[in-house]
Amino acid sequence: MTAPRPTPTAEPLLQVRDLRVAFRRRGEPDTLAVDGVSFDVAPGQVVGLVGESGCGKSVTSMAIMRLLPRRGVQITGSVKMDGEELLTLSEAKMRERRGRDLSMVFQDPLSSLNPVVPIGLQITEVLRRHRGMDKEKARQAAVDLLDRVGIPDPRRRVTAYPHQLSGGMRQRVMIAIALACRPRLLIADEPTTALDVTIQAQILELLKEMVAETGAALIMITHDLGVVAGLCETVNVLYGGRIVERAQRHRLFGTPRHPYTHGLLRSIPRLDAAAGEQLEAIPGSVVDNLPWAHACAFQPRCPRSVDRCVEVTPEAENTGGRLLRCFNPVPASAE
């Protein structure tokens, strides 16, 4: 389904290095939501961040967008876009880049759209601020954008309020707003989780088309392995705030090496599986995690754990285009 995209060559568009986000709360130890995440996004590349709730995938995106509250949050590491550090940028400069250079689509479009402003106005606002269009021009551009994202009868719909649209339509509007200024990086945080499958298919298709058309890079954040399988070139699997495995999608899904990735793929019921196949559940839940500082966080749930897993923190090692954080990975031939 995906058209092969130009292989990224030169400078990365976005460079995330050793990103850590700690939430502090009075009278309690810090919670490390993101614990040293590093990855690159090349221009026009589609990168997936996959993991379950609490793995830090959403916090990572919020940190990149600088949307986390200042109080009670400590962010360290580096996020560079075109070589410029975003984490230390002034609030005014960051606001200018947000929407113009990088923008975001959220899971719940209803709560991220302003409920009392017509959708057309919400788009023209962005266009006028970042692209300096006059009122008439911006209005025409908004209608074109709505038409482009597949909203029927866009001329009538510009005056509609978010609650008058269905979930799928709202998400289309969000995508239109996010892409209004042709950003070079789009972050989509669970954009289809709140939607039905048939609508999800429409939105994924639209996202694919839109990034291909505008040449924007896309970071797709999701818990759904199926969604990334058809969409992302490179897939990062997160667990407990760290990337445990990263590979090109065919390799990752073909031969998952980390026990977590491997276990996850075997534990989900699949449409294409043979009938009566037993699911191999991963025991326990994320509350069983060990802290990365002392051990492998996944160890208590891991079927392949060895003694070292509770003694030393496994480092991320890059072998043959695959990043792996495990002492005892699943053999490549096991599949």
Partner 1 sequence: MDTDEATAAPHASVDGTGPLLDVRDVAVHFPIRRGLILDRTIGHVYAVDGVSLRIHRGETYGLVGESGCGKSTLGRAILRLEKPTFGEVWFDGRDIAPLKGEELRTMRRRFQMVFQDPMSSLDPRQSVEGMLMEGLKAHGLSRGPEADRARLRELVEQVGLPAAALRRYPHEFSGGQRQRIGIARALCVEPDLIVADEPVSALDVSVQAQVLNLLGRLQDELGLTYLVIAHDLAVVRHVSDRVGVMYLGGLVEEAPSQALYDEPLHPYTRALLSAIPVPDPELEDRRERILLTGDLPSPAAPPPGCRFHTRCPWRQPERCDTERPELRVVEGTVGGHRVACHYAEQIRSGTLQPHKVEPAVAEDVLGPGAVPDQPGSVTEILGR
Partner 2 sequence: MTTTWAQRRKERIDDLAGGRSLTSEAMRRLRRDPVAIVGAVIVGLFVVIAVFAPLLAPHGAAESFPELQADLRPGNIPGAQEGFPLGGDQLGRDFLSRMILASQQTLLVGVLATLIGLAIGIVIGTLAGAFGGWIDTVLMRVTDVLLAIPSLLLAISVAALAASPSQTTVIIAVAIVGVPIFARLLRGSMLSQRNSDHVVAATALGVKRPAVVLRHMLPNAIGPVIVQATLTLATAILDAAALSFLGLGDADPGRAEWGLMLAQAQTYLDVRPALAFYPAFAIIVVALGFTLLGESLREALDPKGRR
Q: Which residues in this chain contact partner 2 in the complex, by CB under 8 A?
A: 27, 288, 290-291, 294-295, 300, 310-311
Which residues, 6+ apart, have CB-to-CB distance to 239 below 8 Å?
A: 51, 55, 260, 297, 298
Which of partner 1, partner 2, none binds 332 (CB below 5-8 Å, type-dependent)?
Answer: none
Instruction: Tell me how far, at minimum, the Cβ of 310 lies from partner 2, in Å.
Output: 5
Shortest reach from residue 80's CB to partner 1, in Å: 29
Q: Which is nearer to partner 1, 96 or 224 (CB)?
A: 224
> Which residue, 291 or 303, is less far from partner 2 as judged by CB?
291
Residue 248 CB partners (closer than 8 Å, separation 6+): 233, 234, 235, 321
281 or 293: CB nearest partner 1: 281
CB of 110 to partner 2, least distance (A): 20
Q: Cα dist. 301→15, 134, 246, 255, 282 in Å?
A: 31, 58, 20, 20, 7
Residue 273 contact, options partner 2, partner 1, none, Cβ 5-8 Å cut-off depending on partner type: partner 1
Q: Cβ 290 to partner 2, closest distance in Å?
A: 6
Which residues make Cβ contacts (< 8 Å) with residue 57, sequence separation at least 6? Answer: 49, 50, 51, 189, 221, 238
Backbone angles phi, psi at 282, to 5 degrees: -85, 125
Assess contact for 234 and 321: CB atoms under 8 A: no
Nearer to partner 1, 186 or 225 (CB): 225
- Considering the complex, state which of residue 165 and residue 173 has its C-beta at the smaller distance from partner 1: 165
18 binds, among partner 2, partner 1, none (CB under 5 to 8 A by kind): none
Contacts with partner 1 by CB under 8 A lie at 1-2, 52-53, 150, 152-153, 163-169, 196-202, 204-205, 223-230, 249-250, 253-254, 260, 263-265, 267-273, 275, 277-283, 285-287, 301
Between 268 and 310, CB nearer to partner 2: 310
Q: Select the binding partner of residue 153 from partner 1, partner 2, none (C-beta < 5 to 8 A, by kind).
A: partner 1
CB of 301 to partner 2, least distance (A): 11
Buried b or exposed e, range 264-291, using 16+ CB within 10 angstroms: bbeeeeeeeeeeeeeeeebeeeeeebbe
The radius of gyration of the chain's CA atoms, rounded to the nearest angstrom, is 21
**Nearer of residues 23 and 253 to partner 2, judged by Cβ:** 23
Q: Which CB sits closer to partner 1, 134 or 277?
A: 277
Is residue 183 within 8 Å of residue 81, measured between CB atoms? Answer: no
Q: Which does residue 250 bind out of partner 1, partner 2, none, counting CB within 5 to 8 angstroms by kind?
A: partner 1
User: Residue 221, Cα to own-chain centre: how many angstroms?
Assistant: 2
Residue 31 to residues 55, 66, 80, 298, Cα–Cα distance (Å): 12, 18, 24, 17
The site partner of 310 among partner 2, partner 1, none (C-beta below 5 to 8 Å per kind) is partner 2
Q: Which does 311 bind (CB under 5 to 8 A by kind): partner 1, partner 2, none?
A: partner 2
What does 39 interact with, of partner 1, partner 2, none (CB < 5 to 8 A by kind)?
A: none
Regarding beta strands 217-222 and 242-248, do their DSSP bridges make them parallel or antiparallel, or are they unpaired?
A: unpaired
